[in-house]
Structure 1
Amino acid sequence: MLRYHPERFRVTRPYAKQIVNFFRSNISDGIPSMVHLQELSGMIMKKYNEELMKLPFEKRPPDTRQLSKEISYAVQYATFVMYGRNIFHFEPDLTEKFRQTDVDEVPVSALIYPYKVFYMSFGIQEDLDLWHQGYYVDGAYIAALPGLPLQIILSTVRKDVDYKDKTNWITNPDRYYYLALNIDNPEASISFVVDQALEEEIKSHDVSHLPDESGVYEIDGQNIMMIDNKHNSAELDISDAKQGFNVFKEALRLVINGLCYVTSYREEIKEQWPDETPKLLLERLTNATKNSSRQKIRAELTSLGYTKVNFCGRTISKDKVELISSGKEISAHWRRGHWRNQAYGQGLKDRKLIWIMPVLVRKDKGEPELGHIYKP
């Protein structure tokens, strides 16, 4: 289950259960107020300081700027749990087809969200390295909550981190890329909405109009030098947003294709327990005759980090690259796919997405294969 970021978060954060319980008791709609955020921040800081004191001095991070972003990840994790722990797992072959399918002109009106909050897992994308620092995109949280923009949070995974080591949330903190997409205009294209979102994100961090309040202040009868770091922090945040944007746009291709897929091809999604789920517990669950017994076993599985997953793409036939006599794969390229927002029904008033799938063109075959339409 460590493939999925929500489980990595649960394993590494000592406060994970505490904040979920706080949400369930105080934030039923999943939208925290400023007062709630202050309380959550206090919980996280308390655990952070407790865990920090256990580490040797040389392992303590010199830069704690990422800690300020931890609250956002914590909120996203808690809302994910509150809304049902729904995960969509996209198989590698399907993910590759998504990478080769254009989505820029898909209107936001065509997007339908299966849940208010859920996680999409694409597996590590080794060419999508945010900020070129070894943070590889592997999935995304999607939050479509009433009254708020569509929130997309790219999760990342590192190759050099042991996620079973529970100190890594301090020594190797998570990094993510966040954008809020304004989808009020149903006819706006994805490309327009995303470019607009970057502009808004940069504006939200602009504090150039605020004064530098560094100086000497009298506190409890003593003169204390205070450094106002907001301008430097804002510049770093803006730099992160700009530098990571191209990777975000490429990763968004996975997200939007994933949304189109789960909207249009629900019959090809299979909900099941992951392969690594303890077989003994699954047998007990299958053989349980009482609802109370089944609930108890499910609770035990949840406490161990196991949940049913929506597997996508296991029935799609895979393109096979032929081998030449040397045993090497013949180089190939893709003819790109796209989504057709097709009219149908009485008076052609309704719309449905039809996937014109990408085609793998093999150089040894000369002419490309005939394309095909993937119909729901």
Structure 2
Amino acid sequence: MNQTVFSPYAPVRLRNEVWWTFAIQSAQNGLVAPNGQIARNLPDIIMRELIAPMMAAAQRNANDDGNDAYMGQLYAKLLQQRHWVPMVGQYHLSGKQIFDLDDNIVSMLRNTDVADCTLNEWHPPYDAFFVRFGKQEDMNLQFDDGHEYLDGAFVAVTPWTPEGPERRLKIGLTTVKDDGSGVMMPGYFIDFTPGEQRLSPHAAVDAFIARKFADLDSDEDKSESNKALIEIRKGELKEGADLLRKATELVVNCLFYIESMGANKELSPGRDVPVELLVKWQQSPQLRRYKVAQKIGSEGYAMVRMMGDEVQPGIGSTGGNRADVSTHWRRGHWRRQAHGPQKSLMKRVWIRPVMVNPSKPHEELPGHVYAVGGDGKNVH
């Protein structure tokens, strides 16, 4: 088994890809700044030195049958690298931060409403980072003869204007195949303007899609080949609209959770680190663990910030335990709460979801159900 391809962390899976290496080199050469701003000529460099050679290689290897359709779809996917290269470069410059969310926490966050929440007051822990939440069986798209499933997201913020406080929020979705191996091409990329960040997550996605459609319709290149490319790109947006809404809802919940818990969690070995290295880490004194961390990195594994170990799966319920009430989630939500001097500051408090009547048989519920404590208390 290829350890890299099957890593639970997209930054590990993708690090040997040509476009990923190109992104790191762009950052190291000063074409991408730590805050995500890029050199003016970077888009042209990406087109000339990355996308064009990849297209030329694909054309040499392509079969004659169905060549035009295949090449059009491939070109549309390669164009995503114009967005992913700066984002990955910024991720590298921000310290290659990975937040790994416990599976129980992810299950709870998927049962937390964000319909009334907006992102304009969210505070990022780093300018760019990666969030791993694992393979989501119901968030998928057709991929060749199988599917590709959402499993994580890169998140980055960049200045909206050089002098102003407003920001652009970027999200790059990562996916895995049926067997858990990574999809190595860049996935869906979403960016939200300051105005879109003031909308609910679903409304923000719809506004993003409408903006992209308008941009495509305003393209001045009216050649037949470009018209065909535009239709392919529109088709991808339409096909992925529902996935983007679901994915954004989950990502937003993850971002709020990380913010509420604080981002200063100590680094620890990732979930794919071999047992012998994990034991060595656990047995090493705190001041000597950095050497073990270097060893873990040199062998191709990741040091991550594990989130969610404060919540353990257990049995609990609210609202009684009546036999005529089927087992179901009572959805959680986020509440804004004043705090600080004269209550002048605001923070987001997570009201956890709870399992109602967990003792009742629930074989009819899809997937795994994790029952959690029913006291309804906040994280704080």
| Fold shared per TM-score above 0.5 | yes
The 1-side partners of 2:150 and 2:354 are apart by 25
Percent identity at matched positions? 22
The 2-side partners of 1:202 and 1:56 are apart by 30
The 2-side partners of 1:261 and 1:356 are apart by 11
- Tell me the TM-score normalised to structure 1 length: 0.76
Between structure 1 and structure 2, the one with the greater Rg is 1
**In the alignment, structure 1 residue 20 sits paired with structure 2 residue 24:** yes
* 1:106 paired residue number: 117
Q: Which moved more, 1:14-23 or 1:94-103?
A: 14-23
Q: Which moved more, 1:272-281 or 1:354-363?
A: 272-281
Q: 1:230 Cα shift?
A: 1.4
User: In 2, are the aligned partners of 1:343 and 1:351 still within 8 Å (CA)?
Assistant: yes
1:274-313 equivalence runs, <5 A:
274-277=270-273, 279=276, 283=280, 301-313=296-308
* 1:136 paired residue number: 149
Q: 1:346 Cα shift?
A: 3.5
Letter in 2 for 1:152: I
Q: Deviations over 1:124-169 (max 9, x none)?
A: 1010013676121111111111225211121111125755xxxx85
The 1-side partners of 2:111 and 2:150 are apart by 17
Letter in 2 for 1:360: M
* 1:3 paired residue number: 8
User: In 1, are the aligned partners of 2:196 and 2:208 still within 8 Å (CA)?
Assistant: no
* 1:259 paired residue number: 255
* 2:238 paired residue number: 242
Q: 1:321 Cα shift?
A: 9.2
Please state whether the residue corresponding to 2:159 is helix, strand or coil. Answer: coil
Shift in alpha-carbon separation, 1:107–1:155, aligned structure 2, 3 A: same
- How many residue pairs match? The answer is 342
- Tell me the TM-score normalised to structure 2 length: 0.75
The 2-side partners of 1:354 and 1:280 are apart by 37
Structure 1: which 5+ runs fail to align? 214-227, 323-329
Please state whether the residue corresponding to 1:144 is helix, strand or coil. Answer: strand
Q: Deviations over 1:314-336 (max 9, x none)?
A: 220214599xxxxxxx9732111
Q: 1:54 Cα shift?
A: 10
Q: Deviations over 1:161-194 (max 9, x none)?
A: 755xxxx85xxxx352222112358865444433
Coordinate RMSD, CA, aligned: 4.0
Letter in 2 for 1:158: K
The 1-side partners of 2:198 and 2:80 are apart by 33
**In the alignment, structure 1 residue 118 sits paired with structure 2 residue 113:** no
* 1:158 paired residue number: 177
Shift in alpha-carbon separation, 1:319–1:130, aligned structure 2, 3 A: farther
**In the alignment, structure 1 residue 146 sits paired with structure 2 residue 159:** yes
Structure 2: which 5+ runs fail to align? 161-166, 318-324, 362-370
Shift in alpha-carbon separation, 1:131–1:348, aligned structure 2, 3 A: farther
The 1-side partners of 2:187 and 2:251 are apart by 15
1:42-191 equivalence runs, <5 A:
42-45=48-51, 48=54, 62-63=70-71, 64-65=74-75, 66-130=77-141, 134-147=147-160, 148-160=167-179, 162-163=181-182, 169=184, 174=185, 176-184=187-195, 188-191=199-202
* 2:222 paired residue number: 212
Letter in 2 for 1:178: F
Q: 1:275 Cα shift?
A: 4.3
Q: 1:44 Cα shift?
A: 2.5
